[in-house]
Amino acid sequence: MSDLSFLAKKRYTTKAFDPTKTIPADKIAEIKTLLQYSPSSTNSQPWHFVLASTAEGKALVAQATENFAFNTPKILNASHVVVLCTRTQLDEAHLLQVLEQEAKDGRFANEEAKQGQHNGRSFFVNMHKYELKDAQHWMEKQVYLALGTLMLGASVLDIDACPIEGFDATKLNQVLGLREKGLCASVVVALGYRSEEDFNAKLPKSRLAQEVIFTDI
C-alpha cells in the first residue's frame, strides 16, 4: 500500500476530542499553509478562513450549534477550529488583488500576459455571475476543494479532524461579523486529538467497492 493510500484510509471523522491535548504551533502553521495553497478554479481563491484557537474563540463558533447540540462538544473540546468561509461575491477589487499577488510572485513574463490572465479569469467569473447565475455555488465548490486539502493534510500531520455542516450559518455569520466582511460561513472543521471515548475510532472504515464507483473506458 502506498503512503498516500495509507493516509487516506487512516483518516476518519473524529466524533470526540480530548480537551487536554493541543496541536503544536508548527503543525498549525502547516495547516495554514495547506489552506493557503489549496487549488481553486482560475486561482480565484474565493475564501477566507477563521481560525479559533482560544476558549473564547471556540465558544463564539459553538454559539452557532444551539440547534445542533451533538456538535457543540466537538467544537469546544477541539484544540483548534477552522471556519471555512466563502466570499459573497468575486468583485473587481478581489480579482485585482489576486492578479497583483500573481505578478509579485513572478507568474507573468510581461504586461500582456498579466492582462490575459485577468481577462481569462474575469470571463469565467462573469459567466457564472451573469449567464449560469450560480456564482455563489461555484465559489463554494472552491472552498470545498480547500476542505479536502485540509482533511487529507490533517491525516498527514497526525491530527484528528471532524468536518461540520450542522450549524446555524446565519448565527455564525452574525457572531463572527462575516456578512460585514463580504463573507459567509460554509463549513466548520474541528481539529485536535481523539478522546478515548471516540466510538468512531474503533469502527472500521466503510466505502463502496471500486467496482461500484469506477467505470473504466
pLDDT digits (tens, 9 = 90+) for 99-156: 999 999 999 999 999 999 999 999 999 999 999 999 999 999 999 999 999 999 999 9
Report the predicted TM-score, pTM, of the whole model to 2 decimal places: 0.96
Of residues 4 and 86, the one with the higher pLDDT is: 86
- 4: confidence class by pLDDT, cuts 50, 70, 90: confident
* Band (2; pLDDT cuts 50, 70, 90): low
DSSP the chain: --HHHHHHHH--B-S-B-TT----HHHHHHHHHHHHT---GGG---EEEEEE-SHHHHHHHHGGGTT-GGGHHHHHHSSEEEEEEEES---HHHHHHHHHHHHHTT--SSHHHHHHHHHHHHHHHHIIIIIS--HHHHHHHHHHHHHHHHHHHHHHTT-EEEEE--S-HHHHHHHTT-GGGTEEEEEEEEEE-B-TT-GGGGSPP----HHHH----
The better pLDDT of the pair 7, 125 is held by: 125
| Residues tagged active-site | 15, 74, 165
Furthest CA-CA distance within the chain: 59
C-alpha distance from residue 131 to each of 25, 119, 123, 126 (Å): 45, 17, 11, 8
